[in-house]
Amino acid sequence: WQGMPCHLHTNNTLMTSYLSATYFFDFKHPKVQAFVQEHTRPGMSPKEKAVALYYAVRDGWRYDPYEIYFEKSCWKAHWIMGKGRAHCLDKSVLLISFLRAVGIPARLHLAKVKNHIAVEKLVETFQTNELTPHGYVEVYLDEHWVAATPAFNRELCELLGVRPLEFDGEQDSIFQAFNAAGDQFMEYLEDYGTFEDFPLDFVVENFERHYPDFQALMP
């Protein structure tokens, strides 16, 4: 599976929901607004803004799949911004909030993936090398949806021997199937579809179902 095709037109009624602030995508918060102003400038095209914000999120927070909170307030974009590390869902919430703040439609896409590289701690913690739900972002640019995956920061990719995921606002950017040495890296297993808001209940239920020792993993 290479990721669900994103190149689908969306009607105007639905588009409004992909631009709206929500409890989680709280882009009207001063911290979110300040971040957006720092990383974009007047005169930029929507595509240029989307690309700039993608890299700001990708490399602005170190990827950490082990720091997981399920208090509702801990999934608000402005709260996540205060962390130095973040997992894929955190970073997706951030990017969606930043994009909506500059008037670019964005939504969450969830899936199950299997990591084949550097999995010792992953297996020790979760009893599996499958990560679910994995989150990435779909951005609406030039009348089509394009995928963006800001999860792995550049330093981590260099450590793993994987080329960092680039994003140009035109081509889907999803996890690489292989690393630079040709070894299998990431495998997509299940597609959970797209969401206009962060589906906390679904995320918690999915996590509990796949990780029986769920409560023991909480900080």
Residue 116 confidence (pLDDT): 79
Q: What is the mean pLDDT of residues 34-62?
A: 98
* Residue 65 pLDDT exceeds 70: yes
Specify the higher pLDDT residue, 122 or 163: 163
* Helix 46-60, helix 88-101: angle, nearest 10: 150
Q: Domains of the chain, with CATH numbers?
A: 12-217 (3.10.620.30)
* pLDDT band at 8; cut points 50, 70, 90: very low
Question: What is the Cα–Cα distance from 66 to 46, expressed in whole angstroms?
Answer: 33
Q: How high is the pLDDT of residue 184?
A: 74
Length of the chain counted residue by residue: 219
**Chain mean pLDDT for the chain:** 89
**The pair of three-digit structure tokens given for residue 96, joined into one six-digit string:** 């969606």
Nearest to 142 by CA among 27, 51, 37: 51
pTM for this entry: 0.90
Question: Which residue bears the tokens 């089509």?
Answer: 144
> Does the pLDDT at position 10 exceed 90?
no
Instruction: State the average pLDDT over residues 50-72.
Output: 94
Q: Where are the beta strands (DSSP E) in 18-170?
A: 62-63, 85-86, 106-115, 130-141, 144-148
What's the average model confidence in pLDDT over 6-10? 45
SS3 74: helix
**217 pLDDT above the threshold of 60:** no
SS3 6: coil
What local confidence, expressed as pLDDT, does residue 219 receive?
54
Cα 66 to Cα 28, 76, 96, 214: the distances in Å are 28, 18, 22, 12
